Amino acid sequence: MNMIHSVPDRLKQPDIAVAGAPVNRAKGVIITLHGRGASAAGILDLADHLAQPDLAFIAPQARGGSWYPYSFLAPFEANQPFLDQALATVSELLEAVSELGFPAQKTGLMGFSQGACLALESAARHAQPLGAVLGFAGGLIGPPGAPRLYSGSLEGAPVLLACSDIDPHIPLGRVEETADVMSRMGALVTKRIYPGFGHGINDDGIAQARRILVAMQGLD
């Protein structure tokens, strides 16, 4: 059982929206990342669809509605300093959740589109045995051919990659690469490719995410 003494200041900032269970009784915490031009409050609608009342969902708001200005396929330097700032935001929240007493196995990262890319890249750069990494329409960040020199291990972390084969923003090849990289890092990857679906989240993606989140809460 998590030992919560006080809520870290980072989680009390005005850029943070919350949904689901209060952290003082939650069985786990999911850091939830919105897409380009969207909002923290909007992405938390996912919590209702996932129907996990014992989880706390924490969503930061990107300044101006975007985590970085250009495509996730652009050269890394093109999206600086915004990309590093976005990665730092996720790192800060992971640290704050740890301070609440939640181990990595009870902590998850989840996002859609640009938020999914940020969640997946954060999981790879700060490799640990997270309880869930849920990427709806996303992939690892960086230009084609970027070296994937991540250190550490995901140690069996369940990773969901749910994306269309014709997504106009996320090339199928990047989803495949992401699956390969994260599998080599020790993740248990579930890859769901939806023919002709487009850019969004469907019922199967929700069902796969729910399955992972239910299992995460059983890791006592």
What local confidence, expressed as pLDDT, does residue 218 receive?
A: 83
User: Looking at the domain assignment, is residue 1 inside a domain?
Assistant: no
User: Looking at the domain assignment, is residue 45 inside a domain?
Assistant: yes
What local confidence, expressed as pLDDT, does residue 5 receive?
A: 53
Joined together, the tokens standing for residue 170 give 């996320």
What local confidence, expressed as pLDDT, does residue 220 receive?
A: 42
Q: Which domain holds residue 46?
A: 9-146+154-217
CA 109 to each of CA 6, 20, 75, 77, 181: distance values in angstroms, whole numbers, following the listed order: 22, 15, 24, 24, 17
User: Looking at the domain assignment, is residue 4 inside a domain?
Assistant: no
User: How many folded domains does the chain comprise?
Assistant: 1
Classify 179 as helix, strand or coil.
helix
Q: What are the average pLDDT values for consecutive 10-residue runs of the chain, which has 220 residues? A: 62 89 93 97 94 96 96 98 98 94 96 98 97 98 95 96 97 98 98 96 97 84
What local confidence, expressed as pLDDT, does residue 11 receive?
A: 81
Task: Please spell the DSSP secondary structure of 7-46, one letter per residue.
Answer: --GGGGSTTEEEEES-TTT-SEEEEEE--TT--HHHHTHH
What local confidence, expressed as pLDDT, does residue 188 receive?
A: 98
Find where tokens 């700032």 sit. Answer: 85
CATH at 87: 3.40.50.1820
Predicted structure pTM score: 0.94
3-state helix, strand, coil in the chain (%, to 5): 35, 20, 45
User: Looking at the domain assignment, is residue 3 inside a domain?
Assistant: no
140, 136, 142: which is closest to 123 by C-alpha?
140
- Total residues found in the chain within this entry: 220
